[in-house]
Each structure stands twice: as C-alpha cells, then as structure tokens.
C-alpha cells in the first residue's frame, strides 16, 4: 500500500505512553493496512444499504 492512513508519530507516542515500548516501522504499515480493510468493508456496508455516506455503524472491527 502506498498511502499511509495512520499518523506514525501519534501511534508511536500512544504505545510509548501506554506501555513504555518502542514501535517498529513495519507496525505502521500493518496498522495502515488494517485501517484500509476496515474502510473497504465500511464502504461495502454503506453501498449495500444504498447510501453514499459511510457511517459509524458501517465499521465493524471484529
């Protein structure tokens, strides 16, 4: 994936503040891919409901 969908500095800070751990560069790519998959599924959910707007109910992280 070419586009990064998460802010690396925010993710690194969150992990550092929460657990005193460092974050590898590959973690950002994996998280970005996970966000893209969530968005793709949300788009399909909205489309199947006949909407052109993705809503919070379209996102199912499980």
| pLDDT values of the chain reduced to their tens digit, one per residue, 62 residues | 469 999 999 999 999 999 999 999 999 999 999 999 999 999 999 999 999 999 999 999 88
pLDDT computed for residue 39 by the predictor = 97
N-term to C-term CA, the chain: 22
pLDDT computed for residue 2 by the predictor = 65
Contacts 24+ apart (CB under 8 A), 2-7: 3/32, 4/28, 4/29, 4/32, 5/32, 5/35, 5/36, 5/39, 6/31, 6/32, 6/35
**Model pTM score:** 0.87
């Amino acid at each position: 994936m070419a586009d990064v969908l998460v802010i690396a500095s925010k993710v690194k800070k969150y992990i550092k503040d929460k657990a005193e751990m460092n974050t590898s560069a590959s973690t950002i790519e994996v998280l970005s891919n996970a966000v893209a998959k969530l968005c793709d599924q949300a788009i399909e959910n909205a489309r199947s409901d006949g909407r052109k707007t993705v809503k919070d109910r379209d996102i199912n992280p499980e």
